[in-house]
Amino acid sequence: MTMKKLLSIAVLLSVTFLSSAQNKKYISAMEKNVAALDTTRDAAQLQSLANNFERIASAEKSEWLPNYYLAYCYVNMTYSTKGDPIDTYCDKAEKFINIADSISPNNSEIYTLKAQIASARISVNPMSRGQKYGTISGELREKAKQLDKTNPRPYYLEGTAFFYTPPMFGGGKDKAKPAFQKALELYESFKPASTIAPNWGKSSTQYFLQKCDEK
Amino acid sequence: MKQLFTSFLLLLITSQGIWAQTKVSGKVLDQKKQPLPGVNVYIKDTYDGTSTAADGTYSFIAADTGEVSIVCSFIGYDQLEKKVRLTGKDFSFSPSMKEALNELKVVTISAGTIEASDEKKATVLKPLDIVTTAGAQGDIVGALKTLPGAQQIGESEGLFVRGGEGSETKTIIDGMVVNKPFFSSAPDIASRGRFSPFLFKGTVFSTGGYSAQYGQGMSSVLALETQDLPDQTSSTVAVSSVGIGAGHNKLWKEKKMSVGFDFNYANLLPYFKTVKQTPEYTRAPQFTGGSLNFRKRTSPTGMLKFYGYFNLSDLGIKTLSIDSTNGFKNLFELNNRDVYTNITYKERIAEKWMLNIGASYSTNVDHIKTWNDTITSQSDMTQGRVVVSRGIGKLSIIRIGAEYQYTEDKFKLDGAKFGYSYHRNLSVFDNYSAEFVEADLYLTPKLVWRAGARGEYSTLEKEYVISPRTSVAYKLGELSQISFAYGQFYQKPDRDYLFYPRIPGYNKATHYIANIQRVDDFHTLRAEIYYKQYNNLTSTIDSTNGGYGYAQGLDIFWRDKKTVKGVDYWISYTYLETKRKYQAYPKEVTPPFAARHTASLVFKKFFEKLNLSTGFTYTYASGRPYYNPNNPDFMSDRTIDYHSLGINGAYLRQIKNCFAVLAFSVTNVIGNEQVYGYRYSYDNQRSAAVTPPAKRFFFVGLFLSFGQNRSKEVIDNNN
């Protein structure tokens, strides 16, 4: 065995070792934070989780998931605020979801979150924004469904959109229910691609389904 | 070999960061030296970092040593990056972060400006408010009349602002002047604006001190900005108690181009048969109109727009002649033809440089017939406009522009009276050119200074004038600001004097305005005081430009969308003191179009369970002066006070992809007597009140809109 050969094997080995170590670090960091997401709705905690994801995203430039979860944190922060700050959070969420989109184009989960961001913008002023962002959100949702027919989340979003829209504007519980039912059906058979892939919304779907039956 | 392996191992281990760690700690503050919690502090491109605690402190272990970048990032603040050298020794870093500039933290010029926009925040109105204001009848000007500064003038159209006449307000669409923004009207009956409020995404109503970008309005400018591309392809159908209408707006798949048109026809004959009118209509008013728009996004930063409309209208009216004792009636028949077209193009031509160009052509012909006279009055206008703007830094901007207008007015009269015939055939044209430069200089995000000047030349007035304009605004706190404006405004004498023998020259107004306002998401409070000086007004009594006058007063506006759930209301109050000596006035007096006190209360309530939106508008104006020839004290008589209560309601319903609105409105529900002034007979023996053609106006309409995109079924309200 020549010296040269040995060296290249050593390099190869160490690179694999390094990268697998790096990968482990990535997965474990993500797992920890994604798990924390499930139990967090408080804005300050979401902010701190967003910060964690932002650091992971800064180190892992080829991964779409840290950016996806960053956007997810920011869009969820909009629900604990009112008025104009919603736009600030949405702008931030949009920035990161667009990075995720450029890393992983035509991803159903990314389009679902884009739809959610558009919906969140409506609450700044439902009267004047409803039509514009409702349309945009609806289109993104349809695209998300198209990209992955097994993804329950676009249906869940559709359900919430109907649920919060007054019947006079074509929403209401009656229309929300079938969407939630469809989502739940998909959730039953949905298998996330990995331990850190998006897997949220099932318990909320069950909660809303219950609400739909309330008088 | 062994050596190599060791060094390799060493490399591996160090890169794993077991050795030479650095503790990084400190405290992050904002500009006011207050601690900032939740800030993300980390070493760029690594996992190492943390969030600051409630007291702004942080501490973390950085694995890398050597040259690294520390990043501080937090929502609403400018990201901070600093190159440092980590050696393994404890490292302390306590930066202060700068708040990011956003629209709400930056001061805007508010003196004399009332804006309705969806895009901008902190505006007084939203475009939707214009169509949901009771008493406004879906007319832009009708809704703006509920704002402070505008007078309640019912006998002629237009916005009478702060002691100014209706003709002192210029209407502008996408930068281009609209020569005849209102339907031609019969004497003493106000007409509506020619365009639908749904066409515009932004409305700026200036009550004075406006930008050097505009000119030829001594009192006010109403600047309308047309919509960009629609959200979707849609069709509309409307059926109402006065007419029918239909429209279609097509959006191409890539969302880069749209074409829209609408057509409407109104005939008041059935309505007038049902609701008795005071004047006798020989021909009930009829309106036929259509509009066409084309929009194309030519590049990510470029937009081409065309907007055009035509209107045909016709009416005939007989009113009791005040000069006759045997029931003789005057005849007035009017046939109008009006076309307006406007094309604009906007593009970023270089980093920070924007180009706006536009051209417009319009023509308006009135055929008027009375018992004795046949009149044809035509007014054509061709205009072009170029504006180049450059951003300076993050906020400041400088605009340079030029415009040119060619107007031609023709007047033809053929008459016969007592067997003697007379003819007039007059034509006047004008080449008007203007150029302006204006800069909005942000000295700090809280302090802006606008300085501009406009030069104008008209071949008809044979005069070149330069009008300086300036304003300053300062943000007092998060929600409140003060603003001041000064400006000189020239205007060609009103068209009515175009054919008079007169000395050429502009009329002139000088404005001084001070404004204070406080705006949050749900409340708006504005107070404004102003002084306006008039000079060089047309004086027909001595055929000079020696008329003069002034106006001064106070405007107050309060809007509250929160205190009562589901209720949105606003109150506006205008105090106006004005006098002028112009036209044939023998002395300086308060003109008939100025009430001392004007107040409006606009109330809107939404009943969600009933799918019903309702509202009312109550308006009060103190009595206005009128000319009584029998009173030696000129213009000292006053009409009775004006009261008006208008109500409206809309029932909304979505049926599949059709959105339906059933709307109704009634003006002057209570039936208050409304008198705008008096007319006297030639011998001063008899007088008649100028009143609305009917006590009330009732309206019922059904509007259907069909979206062609499935997702329009939902107007998400996902909170």
| B62-93 residue pLDDT tens | 888 889 999 999 998 999 999 999 888 899 99
CB atoms within 10 A of CB B49: 25
Instruction: Give the burial class of B336: count Cβ atoms within 10 A of its Cβ; 0-12 exposed, 13-18 middle, 19 or more buried.
Output: buried
**Segment 567-606 of chain B within 8 Å of chain A by CB:** none
Strands of the B49-51 sheet, one edge to the other: B49-51, B40-43, B66-73, B80-86
Q: Is B31 on the interface with A (CB under 8 A)?
A: no
**Which chain B positions have a beta carbon within 8 Å of A42's beta carbon?**
none
The SS3 assignment for B414 reads strand
Minimal Cα distance from B658: which residue of A? Answer: A170
- Please say whether the beta carbons of B282 and B311 come within 8 A: no
Residues 6 or more apart whose CB falls under 8 angstroms from that of A36 comprise A45, A49
Q: Residue A95's pLDDT is what?
A: 94
Considering only CB atoms, A134 lies closest to which of B4, B15, B714, namely B714
Please report which confidence band the pLDDT of residue B128 belongs to, taking 50, 70 and 90 as the band edges.
confident
Q: Do A126 and B16 touch (CB under 8 A)?
A: no
How many CA atoms, within 13 angstroms, populate the side-chain half-sphere of residue B326?
0
- In this structure, what token pair is assigned to residue B290? 């259509």
Amino acid symbol at A214: E
Minimal Cα distance from A66: which residue of B? Answer: B47
Considering only CB atoms, B719 lies closest to which of A123, A137, A168, namely A123
- d(CA B36, CA A50) in angstroms, rounded, equals 16
Place of tokens 């009269």: B413
- Please say whether the beta carbons of B578 and B593 come within 8 A: no
Q: Which residue has the higher pLDDT, A21 or B279?
A: B279
- d(CA B411, CA B380) in angstroms, rounded, equals 12
Question: Nearest 10 degrees: CA dihedral of B507, B508, B514, B515?
Answer: 40
Q: Do B50 and A116 touch (CB under 8 A)?
A: no
Query: Which of B171, B590, B335, B714 is CA-nearest to residue A155?
Result: B714
Q: Do B8 and A48 touch (CB under 8 A)?
A: no
Please report which confidence band the pLDDT of residue B132 belongs to, taking 50, 70 and 90 as the band edges.
confident
Question: Mean pLDDT throughout B260-272?
Answer: 94
CA distances from B488 to B209, B537, B549 (A): 8, 14, 15
- In this structure, what token pair is assigned to residue B226? 């047309």
Q: Do A168 and B654 touch (CB under 8 A)?
A: yes
Q: Which residue has the higher pLDDT, B128 or B274?
A: B274
For every residue of B112-159, DSSP letters joined together read TEEEEESSSSS-SB-HHHHHH-TTSTT-HHHHHTTSTTB----SS-S-
Beta bridge partners, B421, equal B416
Residues 6 or more apart whose CB falls under 8 angstroms from that of B304 comprise B294, B295, B296, B298, B343, B344, B345, B346
CA distances from B310 to A153, B180, B183, B190, B690 (A): 49, 12, 11, 20, 31
Please report which confidence band the pLDDT of residue B458 belongs to, taking 50, 70 and 90 as the band edges.
very high
**Which chain B positions have a beta carbon within 8 Å of A118's beta carbon?**
716
Q: Is B712 on the interface with A (CB under 8 A)?
A: yes
Nearest-CA distance B557 → chain A (Å): 21
Please report which confidence band the pLDDT of residue B1 belongs to, taking 50, 70 and 90 as the band edges.
low
Dihedral sign for Cα A41, A43, A49, A54, please: positive
Place of tokens 């600093």: B82
The greatest distance separating any two alpha carbons of chain A, rounded to the nearest whole angstrom, comes to 81
Q: Do B716 and A133 touch (CB under 8 A)?
A: yes
Q: Residue B76's pLDDT is what?
A: 87
The SS3 assignment for A89 reads helix
Please report which confidence band the pLDDT of residue B715 belongs to, taking 50, 70 and 90 as the band edges.
very low
**Segment 65-84 of chain B within 8 Å of chain A by CB:** 71, 73, 75-76
Beta bridge partners, A150, equal none
State the Cα angle at B376 between B374 and B379, rounded to 5°.
Answer: 160
Beta-strand relationship, B29-30 and B373-392: unpaired
Amino acid symbol at B406: Y
Q: Is B653 on the interface with A (CB under 8 A)?
A: yes
**Segment 500-539 of chain B within 8 Å of chain A by CB:** 521
**Which chain A positions have a beta carbon within 8 Å of B104's beta carbon?**
84
Place of tokens 């076309």: B339
Considering only CB atoms, A138 lies closest to which of B4, B16, B711, namely B711
3-state helix/strand/coil string of B633-666: CCCCEECCCEEEEEEEEEEEEEECCEEEEEEEEE
For every residue of B589-639, DSSP letters joined together read B--TT--SEEEEEEEEEEETTTTEEEEEEEEEEPPPEE--TT-SSTT-EEP
Specify the long-range contacts of residues B494-500, CB closer than 8 Å, at least 24 apart: B494/B165, B494/B167, B494/B538, B495/B167, B495/B379, B495/B409, B497/B538, B497/B540, B498/B409, B498/B411, B498/B428, B499/B411, B499/B426, B499/B428, B500/B540, B500/B543
Q: Which residue has the higher pLDDT, A17 or B33?
A: B33
Nearest-CA distance A153 → chain B (Å): 14
Please report which confidence band the pLDDT of residue B17 belongs to, taking 50, 70 and 90 as the band edges.
very low
Q: Residue B619's pLDDT is what?
A: 96
Question: Nearest 10 degrees: CA dihedral of B343, B349, B352, B358?
Answer: -20
Among B17-31, B181-195, B535-549, which is the least confidently predicted range? B17-31
Nearest-CA distance B75 → chain A (Å): 8
Question: Mean pLDDT throughout B554-564?
Answer: 92
- Please say whether the beta carbons of B398 and B438 come within 8 A: yes
CA distances from B390 to B58, B119, B176, B397 (A): 42, 21, 21, 6
Nearest-CA distance B99 → chain A (Å): 13
Gyration radius of chain A over CA positions: 20
Residue from B568, B716, B717 to probe the interface with A (highest A Cβ count within 10 Å): B716
Query: Which of A54, A46, A133 is CA-nearest to residue B45?
Result: A54
Q: Do A142 and B15 touch (CB under 8 A)?
A: no
- In this structure, what token pair is assigned to residue A85? 């700050």
CA distances from B170 to A156, B136, B157, B284, B694 (A): 51, 20, 13, 30, 29
Considering only CB atoms, B40 lies closest to which of A55, A141, A171, namely A55
Whether B161 shows a pLDDT value over 80: the answer reads yes
Q: Residue B9's pLDDT is what?
A: 55
**Which chain B positions have a beta carbon within 8 Å of A166's beta carbon?**
608, 611, 717
- d(CA B166, CA B184) in angstroms, rounded, equals 14
**Which chain B positions have a beta carbon within 8 Å of A142's beta carbon?**
710-711
**Which chain B positions have a beta carbon within 8 Å of A125's beta carbon?**
118, 126
Place of tokens 């108690």: B241
Type and span of the H or E element at A51? helix A43-59
Share of chain B above pLDDT 90, in %: 67
Minimal Cα distance from A75: which residue of B? Answer: B719
Q: Residue B7's pLDDT is what?
A: 59
- Please say whether the beta carbons of B387 and B435 come within 8 A: no
Question: Mean pLDDT throughout B515-527?
Answer: 91
Nearest-CA distance B279 → chain A (Å): 41
Q: What are phi and psi of B276, to 5 degrees?
A: -65, 135
pTM above 0.80, yes or no: yes
| B388-446 residue pLDDT tens | 999 998 889 999 999 999 999 999 999 988 888 999 899 999 999 999 999 999 999 89
- d(CA B121, CA A163) in angstroms, rounded, equals 28
- d(CA B380, CA B3) in angstroms, rounded, equals 94
Q: Residue B719's pLDDT is what?
A: 28
Q: Do A167 and B715 touch (CB under 8 A)?
A: no
**Segment 170-209 of chain B within 8 Å of chain A by CB:** none
Q: Residue B611's pLDDT is what?
A: 81
- Please say whether the beta carbons of B49 and B42 come within 8 A: yes
**Which chain A positions have a beta carbon within 8 Å of B249's beta carbon?**
none
Whether B97 shows a pLDDT value over 90: the answer reads yes
Average pLDDT, 10 consecutive residues per value, chain A (215 residues): 71 65 85 86 88 93 94 92 85 95 95 95 82 87 94 95 82 90 94 91 92 83
| A/B interface, count of CB pairs below 8 Å | 164
| B314-334 residue pLDDT tens | 999 998 888 888 888 999 999
Q: Residue B501's pLDDT is what?
A: 72
Q: Do A84 and B118 touch (CB under 8 A)?
A: no
Q: Residue B150's pLDDT is what?
A: 94
Q: What are phi and psi of A209, to 5 degrees?
A: -60, -40
- In this structure, what token pair is assigned to residue B93? 């870093």
Residues 6 or more apart whose CB falls under 8 angstroms from that of B429 comprise B406, B407, B408, B409, B460
How many CA atoms, within 13 angstroms, populate the side-chain half-sphere of residue B320?
13
- Please say whether the beta carbons of B583 and B540 come within 8 A: yes
Beta-strand relationship, B637-638 and B642-655: unpaired
State the Cα angle at B516 between B153 and B222, rounded to 5°.
Answer: 40
Query: Which of A107, A129, A109 is CA-nearest to residue A120?
Result: A129
- d(CA A14, CA A27) in angstroms, rounded, equals 19
Residue from A90, A168, A175 to probe the interface with B (highest B Cβ count within 10 Å): A168
- Please say whether the beta carbons of B564 and B554 come within 8 A: no
| B572-627 residue pLDDT tens | 999 999 999 999 999 999 999 999 999 999 999 988 778 888 999 999 999 999 99
Q: Do B711 and A139 touch (CB under 8 A)?
A: yes
- Please say whether the beta carbons of B252 and B719 come within 8 A: no
Q: Do A59 and B47 touch (CB under 8 A)?
A: yes
Please report which confidence band the pLDDT of residue B709 belongs to, taking 50, 70 and 90 as the band edges.
very low
Percentages helix, strand, coil for chain B (3-state, rounded to 5) are 5, 55, 35
| B529-542 residue pLDDT tens | 999 999 999 988 88
